[in-house]
Amino acid sequence: MHIVLFCHSLVSCWNHGNAHFLRGVCQELLLRGHSLQVYEPQDSWSRTQMVAEQGPSSLEGFRQAYPRLRSHLYEPARLDLDRALAGADLVLVHEWSDPALVKRIGRHRRDRRYRLFFHDTHHRSRTDPKAMSAYALEDYDGVLAFGEVIRELYLAQGWAHRAWTWHEAADARRFHPIAGLPRAGDLIWIGNWGDEERTAELEEFLLQPVADLHLSARVHGVRYPPEAVGRLRACGIDYRGWLPNHAVPRAFARFGCTVHVPRRPYARQLPGIPTIRMFEALACGIPLVSAPWSDSEHLFHPGSDYLVARDGAQMRQHLRALKNDPAMAREMAARGRATVLARHTCAHRVDQLLAIHQALSAPPPNPPVRSPA
C-alpha cells in the first residue's frame, strides 16, 4: 500500500515521545514493502526547540540513526493535499496536527477511496475535552486511541463513529539488550520535567529514594527548571540533559535499573496507559520499578515483569532489593522483555493497523440466497 502520515514531528523527539512510536511503525511499514510519505510542519515546536538547544547536528543524528526515514516539511496554508495524498491507500493524522489541517484532510477524503484515521496519544481528551471537540472527524474512518479509556471517550462524546484501542509499543529492532558495556551506575531515569505534571511524584519515587539509598544515579531529559536541576544535584543525581531516543538502549545497558514515573493525568485519569518509556525499558531488558498506575488492560504482569511501588518507602525497598539481588533482577528483566516481544512491539501494532484497514476495505458479504417459496 501507499501510506501517508501527518504528525507533529518525526525527526525530533525533543519533549515529543510520540515520535518514538511513529518511527517504529514507519520502519516496520517500510520493511514490509509499503511505500510511505511523512509530513510535518516546518515550524513544529519540538523540531524548533531541538535545533535551538542542540544545533543542526541533532538533525544529522536522526538521519544517521534512521537512514530510511524522511519527512516533508510544509507550511499548513500552502500544503497541496491533492499532491500530498496522490495514490494514498491509508492516511494517518496524529492529534498534534493543526485542527484546520485535520478538517481539510477530512474534506479531501470525502470523494476519494483511501482510508483515513485520526491517531490520539495524549490525555487532552480527558483533561481538555473542549480542545478535542474542535477536531472535525466526521469524514474520518475512525480513531486509533492509545488506550481503552480514550477509545470510549471518543465514542461517548460523539467525536467519532468508530474507534479502536491502538496502544503504543517498542521498536524491538532498536530497543534490545546490549551486552559488554561498562557499568556507569545503579539507576537511570529518562524523562522530561514538563509542566509540573509529576513534580511531587518525582520527589517521592525518584529523588528521595536515590538520596536515601545513596545510589549512583543519572537523569536525562529536557525542560528542567533551575530549581529542579538544583534538587537533582542535592540528591547526588547526575543530570545530563537531552538524550536522543535512538541512544537510549546504550544508556539503559550501563545501569542496573530504571523507574517508571507516569505523569499525574495519566496515572489518575487514564488507567491502562503507561508511558512509551515503559515499553522501551522492558524491551531493553533493564529491571524496572514503577510508581502506581492501573494496568486495567492487562498489558503486563505487575510484580513479575516489573515491580510496583505504592509509595516512596516501597520504592526504596524495591530498589534496595534489585541492587542486592542481581539474579532476581535479571530474572525479572527477562520476563518483562519476553512480555514485550510477545505482545507489544511495533510489528504487533502494524499487524493490528493492517487488519483494521483490511476489515474496513473488504467487500460486504453476499446476502444469503433464499430458495423460492
Structure confidence at residue 371 (pLDDT)? 55
Structure confidence at residue 49 (pLDDT)? 97
216-240 pLDDT tens trace: 999 999 999 999 999 999 999 999 9
pLDDT in tens, the chain (373 residues): 999 999 999 999 999 999 999 999 999 999 999 999 999 999 999 999 999 999 999 999 999 999 999 999 999 889 999 999 999 999 999 999 999 999 999 999 998 999 999 999 988 888 888 888 889 999 999 999 999 999 999 999 999 999 999 999 999 999 999 999 999 999 999 999 866 778 999 999 999 999 999 999 999 999 999 999 999 999 999 999 999 999 999 999 999 999 999 887 777 788 899 999 999 999 999 999 999 999 999 999 999 999 999 999 999 999 999 999 999 999 999 999 999 999 999 999 999 999 999 999 877 666 555 555 5
Structure confidence at residue 301 (pLDDT)? 98
pTM: 0.94
SS3 content of the chain, % helix, strand, coil (to 5): 45, 15, 40
Structure confidence at residue 124 (pLDDT)? 86
Structure confidence at residue 269 (pLDDT)? 80
Query: 3-state SS of 10-36?
Result: CCCCCCCCHHHHHHHHHHHHHHCCCEE
Q: Calculate ∠ Cα 187-188-190, nearest 5°.
A: 155
Ordered alpha helix ranges (H), 164-225: 199-202, 208-213
Structure confidence at residue 355 (pLDDT)? 98
Q: Calculate ∠ Cα 220-223-226, nearest 5°.
A: 95
Contact 282, 288 (CB under 8 A): yes
At 244 the three-state DSSP class reads coil
C-alpha cell at 34: 509499503
Structure confidence at residue 370 (pLDDT)? 59
Strand order in the sheet with 142-145: 72-74, 35-41, 2-6, 90-94, 115-120, 142-145, 163-165
Structure confidence at residue 109 (pLDDT)? 97
Structure confidence at residue 116 (pLDDT)? 98
Give which of 235, 190, 210 is closest to 319, Cα–Cα: 210
The amino acid at 357: H
93-140 pLDDT tens trace: 999 999 999 999 999 999 899 999 999 998 888 888 888 888 999 999
Return d(Cα 227, Cα 222) in angstroms, integer: 13
Return d(Cα 7, Cα 24) in angstroms, integer: 14
Give CA 296 to chain center in angstroms.
18
Return d(Cα 44, Cα 295) in angstroms, integer: 33
C-alpha cell at 95: 492529534
